[in-house]
Amino acid sequence: MLAATTCLSGAAFADDERIVVGFATAETGFMQAYDKPAQDAAMIRIAEINAAGGLLGKQIEVVNADTKTDRAEGAKAGLSVIDQGADMVVVSCDYDFGAPAALAAESSGLISFFLCAESIKAGIQGVGPNSFSASVLAAVQGATMAEWAYNKKEARTFYRLLDTWTEYNKGICDGFDWMMPQLADATLVGEDTFLNEDASIAAQITRIKSLPEEPDAIMLCTMMPGAVSAIKQLRAAGINSMILNGSGVDGSYWLSAVPDLSNFFVPVQGSIYGDDPNPDVTAFNAKFKEVTGGDPSTQYTYPGYVMIDVWAKAVERAGTTETSAVVAELEKMNGEPTLFGPRTFTSELHHQNQARYLIVETNAGKPGVVDEWTISAPIPVADLMK
């Protein structure tokens, strides 16, 4: 794999004497829990490239600045790594907290990569033509779960339950909404909203239980920490419908709060549970533990590795780190193979509006991969922008 993704010859050369990746990410504050695992994965890929001879014959250097999970500090962190010579600026997993540093990079004519942001704004639409995200749009997660449940679990009646707290949650339900009309004889039997901080969703549960029949599936568009409470209440109320959610609830760290949870499904880019069908992912998990001292906690570790991989390929193909040349090579990627599934970028979208997902089922409190699915068509950008 390394030979295919690194450049060992001296024929190509960068525009200066160094190749520098600048991480303007959260080293403190709550975003650190999201940024650090993905950044650790990025560092693993950088170490692999350097060990194989470097990129364009040079070792990749890394500089850092702490955003402190603060938007104003994020802008300062972006400028800091730019001043330290960054050729590419890596920013936080979340659009809101990553955008200030990404905008600083854009103003300086540099490429930025969000570690794992899943809003369409994390790219061209919210930053500019030199900005990308290493993850997959939240809308793809909702669309994936709807189409997979319809085709593989024969779900025909769906209930849509949206936590309106974040754009990520709304994105999951946006993808579900886009897919539903394409599923012949599938019916939305009800929909409701709640807030992540709500202590009780009793009213919403009453409306579900008042239906003539329990729905085949509940599309639950939420994330931590409120997801745990919502799931626990649904099951405590005797609702046994299949629960579908986005990737934001991947991980086993919370499952003790909902003992023996079953019939619960999420999409993931790679499995942290030791059962990924790609043995290279299992090998990566072992490497991650060796380097960091702990296992990946969720699938959000993986986009950091993908980010460095695709950027390095583009630099190699361009023969330079110059922004316009590298962006052009990134935008040529169509189904580009990576360790965690193919990646495509275009001049219209620097994000994934279609992707292969593994489907993880939690059964009797134990999560594991049961299937994989790629939505039948990419979600149009016009629909994503709605």
How does pLDDT run along the chain (386 residues), one tens digit per residue? 333 333 333 333 334 688 999 999 999 998 998 899 999 999 999 999 999 999 999 999 999 999 999 999 999 999 999 999 999 999 999 899 999 999 999 999 999 999 999 999 999 999 999 999 999 999 999 999 999 999 999 999 999 999 999 889 999 999 999 999 999 999 999 999 999 999 999 999 999 999 999 999 999 999 999 999 999 999 999 999 999 999 999 999 999 999 999 999 999 999 999 999 999 999 999 999 999 999 999 999 999 999 999 999 999 999 999 999 999 999 999 999 999 999 999 999 999 999 999 999 999 999 999 999 999 999 999 999 87
In a domain, 8, yes or no: no
Statement to judge: residues 221 and 109 lie in one domain: no
- Looking at residue 273, its pLDDT comes to 97
Judge whether 10 lies within some domain.
no
Same domain, 232 and 117: no
- Say whether both 314 and 350 belong to one domain: yes
Check whether residue 207 and residue 128 sit in a common domain: no
Query: What per-residue confidence (pLDDT) applies to 2?
Result: 36
* φ, ψ dihedrals at 81, nearest 5°: -70, -30
Q: What is the pLDDT of residue 132?
A: 98
Neighbours of 306 (CB within 10 A): 28
Query: What residues make up the domain containing 173?
Result: 139-269+357-383
Kindly give, in sequence order, each residue whose CB lies less than 8 Å from that of residue 48, ignoring residues fewer than 6 positions away. Answer: 2, 6
User: What was the pLDDT predicted at 386?
Assistant: 77
Do residues 113 and 150 share a domain? no
Q: How far apart are CA 22 and CA 28, in angstroms?
A: 17
Q: Is residue 4 part of a domain?
A: no
> Domain containing 336 — which CATH number?
3.40.50.2300
Answer yes or no: do 146 and 221 share one domain: yes
Q: Are residues 133 and 232 in the same domain?
A: no
Say if residue 165 is in the same domain as residue 253.
yes
Q: Is the pTM of this model over 0.95?
A: no
Are residues 242 and 160 part of one domain?
Answer: yes
Looking at the fold, whether 187 and 298 belong to one and the same domain comes out as no
- How far does Cα 157 stand from its chain's mean position? 28
203 shares a domain with 125 = no
Domain count, the chain: 2
181 found inside a domain: yes
- Residues 262, 155 within the same domain: yes
Q: Report residue 240 as tokens.
A: 């046994």
At residue 355, the pLDDT reads 94
Q: At 364, phi and psi to the nearest 5?
A: 55, 40
Task: Please report whether residue 9 resides in a domain.
Answer: no
Give the H/E segment covering residue 51.
Answer: helix 32-51
In a domain, 74, yes or no: yes
**C-alpha count within 13 angstroms, C-beta hemisphere, residue 140:** 27
Q: Which two tokens stand for residue 100?
A: 């200030």
